[in-house]
């Protein structure tokens, strides 16, 4: 297969939980400087896909290519060093540590000067964290914790950023605050894979969209087609068998 340099390519990825395959040989790619959305209903396999790419869970089959190197099966820390960082679902932070300590832990492999520069860069994206650097992360609002979680991923200067459910549990005003940040991150050259259920948000941010349904990709194309034909998404969220069950078919 092609292993185009500079593009994150996922080929025939299979993820298994227990004895059941939850992702069935999907293919997708994320390009530098672009937001690629991965959409679909709960249980479609989106988070399992992220866990497989990031090395948190080893895929049962398939490849994760970056710069011609297959990073599938590497430990998550090693994949992170290759340039793929993840913002997990639920704005996860080290609650007992301060904001500054959260960022220091995330950048533990950097020199002191490089870490300080990295922290300054993320504070330019999220200036509201400057006055909270010495505050316990667990005392922050959900929106502020999401800012810390994104900052943790950015501290290591990744080339690719996987964001699992950006808007999960957040007020619309906070989501609106995060949208220009995601655009700025992509504009800096970082490839973003955005896992998002909020349709309007995902389609507004992305240049390319994959839609998953029951562990498989049911749509691969531009956001404009989904805007023009909402039934494409409707079929993914409500497959024929499900629509028959509720009398919609």
pLDDT at res. 161: 97
pLDDT tens across the length of the chain (249 residues): 444 557 999 999 999 998 899 999 999 999 999 999 999 988 899 999 999 999 999 999 999 999 889 999 899 999 999 999 999 998 889 999 999 999 999 998 889 999 999 999 999 999 999 999 999 999 999 999 999 999 999 999 999 999 999 999 999 999 999 999 999 999 999 999 999 988 899 999 999 999 999 999 999 999 999 999 888 888 888 765 554 444 444
Residue 96 located in a structural domain:
no
pLDDT at res. 233: 85
Residue 207 located in a structural domain:
yes
pLDDT at res. 148: 97
pLDDT at res. 240: 54
Q: How far apart (Å, rounded) are the C-alpha atoms in residues 173 and 63?
A: 38
CA 27 to chain CA mean position, Å:
16
Q: Backbone phi, then psi, for 103, in 5-degree steps? A: -70, -35
Q: How far apart (Å, rounded) are the C-alpha atoms in residues 53 and 3?
A: 15
Residue 129 located in a structural domain:
no
Host domain of residue 230: 8-90+158-245
Residue 205 located in a structural domain:
yes
pLDDT at res. 249: 44
Residue 134 located in a structural domain:
no
Determine the number of helices (DSSP H) and then strands (DSSP E) in the chain.
Answer: 10, 10
CATH code at position 14: 3.40.50.300
Angle at 181 between CA 198 and CA 218, to 5 degrees: 35
Residue 204 located in a structural domain:
yes
DSSP state of 189: T
How many domains in the chain? 1
Q: How far apart (Å, rounded) are the C-alpha atoms in residues 133 and 116?
A: 13
Residue 55 located in a structural domain:
yes
Secondary structure (3-state) at 87:
strand
Residue 35 located in a structural domain:
yes
């Amino acid at each position: 297969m092609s292993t185009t340099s500079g593009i994150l390519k996922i080929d025939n990825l299979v993820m298994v939980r227990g004895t059941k395959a939850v992702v069935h040989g999907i293919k997708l790619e994320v390009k530098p400087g672009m937001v690629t959305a991965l959409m679909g209903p709960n249980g479609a396999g989106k988070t399992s896909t992220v866990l497989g790419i990031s090395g948190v869970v080893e895929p049962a089959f398939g490849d994760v290519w970056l710069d011609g190197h297959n990073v599938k099966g590497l430990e998550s820390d090693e994949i992170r060093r290759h340039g793929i960082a993840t913002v997990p679902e639920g704005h996860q932070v080290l609650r007992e540590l301060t904001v500054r300590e959260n960022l220091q832990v995330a950048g533990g492999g950097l020199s002191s000067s490089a870490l300080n520069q990295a922290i300054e860069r993320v504070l330019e994206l999220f200036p509201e964290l400057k006055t909270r650097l010495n505050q316990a992360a667990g005392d922050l609002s959900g929106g502020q914790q999401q800012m810390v979680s994104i900052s943790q991923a950015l501290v290591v200067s990744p080339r690719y950023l996987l964001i699992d459910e950006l808007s999960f549990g957040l007020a619309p005003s906070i989501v609106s605050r995060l949208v220009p940040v995601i655009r700025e991150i992509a504009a800096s050259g970082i490839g973003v894979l955005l896992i998002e259920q909020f349709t309007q948000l995902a389609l507004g941010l992305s240049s390319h969209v994959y839609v998953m349904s029951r562990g498989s990709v049911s749509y691969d194309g531009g956001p404009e087609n989904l805007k023009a034909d909402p039934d494409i998404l409707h079929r993914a969220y409500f497959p024929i068998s499900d629509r028959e069950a509720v009398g919609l078919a």
